[in-house]
């Protein structure tokens, strides 16, 4: 991450931070030593990486409390035990076998009063915790407004109300999204007040009937493309209201991608965003996407993002009284010197997918980005939708379970959400985030690296993404690569043969139509009939 252009106000804020803190910040791990941390959303993609990083790189942290709710009949304890066996924690347990003794699961839910904690757990948190990371949120962009507000906005208010009572709270980090103010083209590191009152929206969602709320949704959301970005903006407004009551910071990650280095290169367990696109393209089921190749891809590896969160919580305790009068905001995003376009990602991704193909491929991966809606729609219809129905028909005739149409519907739903972000460009300012990293000593800069939101070698990172998604999402071991390459070579010839036959068929149909038109035009009987019709029509 490197400095980007900023308004004079933001530059002044950044300089004030540096001038008020002339001495290099102390050891980050030393800051966390002996402290208790509370994490919401710890079972999510980012949450797991945060827990792992705290336990591994801040080994003297006293306790890391994680709020976990029972889910689908699985208890909190069972969910945490299953989580501990994931590859994301292998390095931690190898280096520190007893690390999970510092992990304290708490059964609760941010959507409930007092987080749904038992009285004993409430007292434990209120008496001991000094650092809070609020990451819990619903990432479903298609959620109805009522559910999204309950999960993301009302849930955040519940956490804020509870944490206001913590006796020795030193830092509360709210994890937002860089796109919560997506109606803006230039996004500074400051709070943008929502155009509608968060409290009124929460009240409307509680009291209005579904039909009324459905009618009001578009008016309330304004230019927001989905309920996720809208409710995140509302939540930032709520957080800012509490800045006089508690030590707050807001972190705004952009699109979070697989790990660059830690805990293991390529780690990912979420199909959201670019990971899902890479897998769908690599499997051959995504042939076209609406994307402006000239626009910049606002992506950040998950480990870079988590390092930033840890530093943001740490930095909050170092602010002067004057600096603390405003809620500090950090855009954890790419920048001018390290930005990469969607076109570069697509070209490099296509190259690496052919070099490191997925094992179970349904067709030869040969998709492309487009900005023309008609061309995109035709390609999707002929090369995604029709083949899906054909394959499901064959499966039905063979008495097998169908799946391709369902897969295509999911892809269509996902792409309809993503195209808002792939067809637009933003300018994210991140001077405060960069200044945060620059103030560290060299050791902490190496351990908590946030200076490479986009790696120096994009080709290597695309390879990491593909191999990571292959191994951790698709459960395809590297030992299957030789077979996958053989299959891909066969599919290459099958694919291009089918393409040639398709265009030959189109040419033949066009020839038949033109031939029929010409025959009817040159038919003497047609001329005779026309000759009987007078120019006056009588």
Concatenate the DSSP letters of all residues of 102-132 into one string: GEEEEE--TTSGGGG--HHHHHHHHHHEEEE
The CATH number given to whatever domain includes residue 96 is 3.40.50.720
Instruction: Name the one residue in this structure whose structure tokens are 């995140």.
Output: 232
Using CA atoms, how far apart are residues 445 and 318, in angstroms rounded to an integer? 17
**Cα 490 from chain centre:** 34
Using CA atoms, how far apart are residues 466 and 226, in angstroms rounded to an integer? 28
C-alpha closest to that of 228 among 105, 142, 309, 290: 142
**For residue 8, what pLDDT is reported?**
44
**For residue 529, what pLDDT is reported?**
55
User: Which residues share a beta bridge with 106?
Assistant: 67
Let me know if 90 is exposed, middle or buried by CB neighbors in 10 A (0-12, 13-18, 19+). Answer: middle
Using CA atoms, how far apart are residues 32 and 504, in angstroms rounded to an integer? 68
Pair of tokens at residue 115 = 């987080």
DSSP state of 150: I
The pTM of the full predicted model, rounded to 2 decimals, is: 0.87
Q: Does 34 fall in a domain?
A: yes
Pair of tokens at residue 123 = 């007292």
DSSP string, 421-445: HHS---EE--HHHHHHHHTS-HHHH
111: containing domain? 28-286+296-340+424-457
| Greatest distance between any 2 Cα atoms in the chain | 103
Pair of tokens at residue 7 = 């308004």
DSSP state of 27: P
Pair of tokens at residue 108 = 């609760």
116: left (phi over 0), alpha (psi -120 to 50) or beta: left
115: left (phi over 0), alpha (psi -120 to 50) or beta: left
Using CA atoms, how far apart are residues 67 and 43, in angstroms rounded to an integer? 9
Q: Does 76 fall in a domain?
A: yes
C-alpha closest to that of 328 among 243, 417, 412: 243
DSSP state of 356: S
Phi, psi of 134, deg, nearest 5? -100, 100
Tell me the CA distances in angstroms from 227 to 170, 420, 428, 448, one per residue in order.
31, 13, 21, 33
User: Which residues share a beta bridge with 175?
Assistant: 251
Alpha-helix residue ranges (DSSP H) falling in 20-151: 28-32, 45-57, 76-84, 90-95, 119-128, 145-148
**For residue 16, what pLDDT is reported?**
44
**For residue 24, what pLDDT is reported?**
45
User: Which residues share a beta bridge with 74?
Assistant: 71
List % helix, strand, coil for the chain (3-state, nearest 5): 55, 10, 35
**Cα 475 from chain centre:** 21
Q: Does 12 fall in a domain?
A: no
pLDDT tens per residue across all 538 residues of the chain: 544 444 444 444 544 443 334 344 458 999 999 999 999 999 999 999 999 999 999 999 999 999 999 988 888 889 999 999 999 999 999 999 999 999 999 999 998 999 999 999 999 999 999 999 999 999 888 899 999 999 999 999 999 999 999 999 999 999 999 999 999 999 999 999 999 999 999 999 999 888 888 888 989 999 999 999 999 999 999 999 999 999 999 999 999 999 999 999 999 998 887 888 899 999 999 999 999 999 988 889 999 999 999 999 999 998 877 777 899 999 998 876 677 889 888 888 889 999 999 998 988 998 889 999 999 999 999 889 998 999 999 999 999 999 999 999 988 888 888 899 999 999 999 889 888 888 888 888 889 998 755 556 788 989 999 999 999 999 999 999 999 999 999 999 998 898 899 889 889 988 888 877 777 665 665 555 555 555 444 4
Residue 289's H or E segment, with its range, is strand 288-290
Q: Does 291 fall in a domain?
A: no
The b/e string for 443-476 (b: 16+ C-beta within 10 A; e otherwise) is ebeebbbbbbbbbeeeeebbbbbbbbbbbbbbeb
Q: What is the rounded (10 degree) CA torsion for 339, 152, 269, 95?
A: 90
**Cα 97 from chain centre:** 31
Could you check whether the bond before residue 96 is cis, i.e. omega within 30 degrees of 0?
A: no
User: Which residues share a beta bridge with 36?
Assistant: 63, 129
At residue 51's C-alpha, the angle toward residues 153 and 455, to 5°, is: 90
User: Which residues share a beta bridge with 253?
Assistant: 332
- Number of domains the chain is built from: 1
Residues 6 or more apart in contact with residue 121 via CB below 8 angstroms:
106, 107, 108
The b/e string for 326-353 (b: 16+ C-beta within 10 A; e otherwise) is ebbbbbbbbbeebbbbbebbbebbbebb
Q: Does 315 fall in a domain?
A: yes
C-alpha closest to that of 361 among 493, 487, 494, 495: 487
């Amino acid at each position: 991450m490197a400095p980007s252009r900023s308004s004079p106000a933001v530059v002044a804020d950044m300089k004030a931070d540096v001038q008020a803190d002339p001495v290099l910040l102390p050891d980050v791990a030393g800051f966390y030593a002996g402290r208790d941390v509370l994490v919401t959303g710890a079972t999510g993609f980012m949450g797991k990486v945060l827990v792992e990083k705290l336990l591994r790189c801040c080994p003297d942290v006293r306790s890391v409390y994680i709020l976990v709710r029972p889910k689908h009949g699985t208890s909190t304890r069972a969910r945490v035990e299953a989580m501990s066996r994931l590859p994301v924690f292998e390095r931690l347990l190898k280096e520190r076998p007893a690390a999970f003794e510092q992990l304290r699961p708490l059964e609760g839910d941010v959507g409930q009063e007092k987080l749904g904690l038992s009285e004993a757990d409430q007292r434990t948190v209120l008496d001991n915790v000094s650092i809070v990371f609020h990451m819990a949120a619903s990432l479903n962009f298609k959620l109805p407004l009522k559910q999204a507000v309950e999960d993301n906005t009302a849930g955040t208010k519940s956490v804020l109300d509870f944490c206001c009572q913590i006796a020795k709270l030193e830092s509360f980090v709210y994890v937002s999204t860089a796109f919560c103010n997506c109606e803006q083209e230039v996004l500074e590191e400051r709070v943008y007040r929502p155009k509608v009152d968060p409290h009124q929206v929460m009240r409307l969602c509680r009291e209005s009937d579904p039909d009324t709320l459905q009618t009001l949704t578009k008016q309330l959301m304004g230019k927001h493309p989905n309920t996720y970005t809208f409710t995140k903006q509302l939540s930032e407004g709520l957080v800012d209201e509490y800045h006089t009551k508690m030590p707050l910071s807001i972190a705004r990650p952009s699109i979070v991608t697989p790990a660059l280095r830690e805990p293991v290169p390529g780690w990912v367990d979420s199909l959201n965003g670019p990971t899902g696109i890479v897998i769908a393209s690599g499997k051959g089921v995504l042939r076209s996407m609406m994307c402006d190749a000239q626009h910049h891809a606002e992506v950040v590896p998950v480990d870079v993002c988590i390092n930033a969160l840890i530093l943001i919580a740490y930095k909050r305790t170092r602010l002067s009284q004057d600096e603390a009068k405003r809620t500090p905001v950090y855009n954890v995003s790419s920048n001018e010197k390290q930005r990469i376009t969607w076109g570069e990602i697509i070209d490099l991704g296509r190259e690496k997918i052919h070099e490191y193909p997925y094992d179970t491929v349904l067709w030869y991966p040969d998709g492309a980005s487009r900005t023309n809606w008609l061309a995109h729609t035709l390609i999707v219809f002929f090369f995604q939708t029709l083949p899906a129905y054909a394959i499901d028909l064959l499966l039905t005739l063979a008495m097998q379970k169908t799946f391709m149409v369902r897969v295509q519907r999911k892809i269509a739903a996902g792409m309809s959400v993503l195209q808002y972000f792939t067809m637009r460009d933003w300018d994210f300012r991140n001077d405060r985030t960069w200044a945060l990293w620059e103030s560290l000593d060299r050791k902490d800069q190496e351990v908590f690296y946030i200076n490479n939101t986009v790696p120096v070698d994009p080709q290597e990172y695309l390879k990491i993404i593909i191999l990571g998604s292959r191994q951790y999402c698709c459960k395809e071991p590297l030992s299957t690569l030789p077979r996958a390459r053989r299959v891909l070579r066969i599919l290459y010839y099958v694919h291009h043969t089918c393409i040639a036959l398709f265009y030959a068929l189109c040419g033949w149909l066009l020839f038949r139509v033109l031939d029929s038109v010409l025959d009817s035009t040159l038919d003497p009987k047609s001329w005779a009939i026309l000759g009987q019709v007078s120019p006056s029509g009588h």
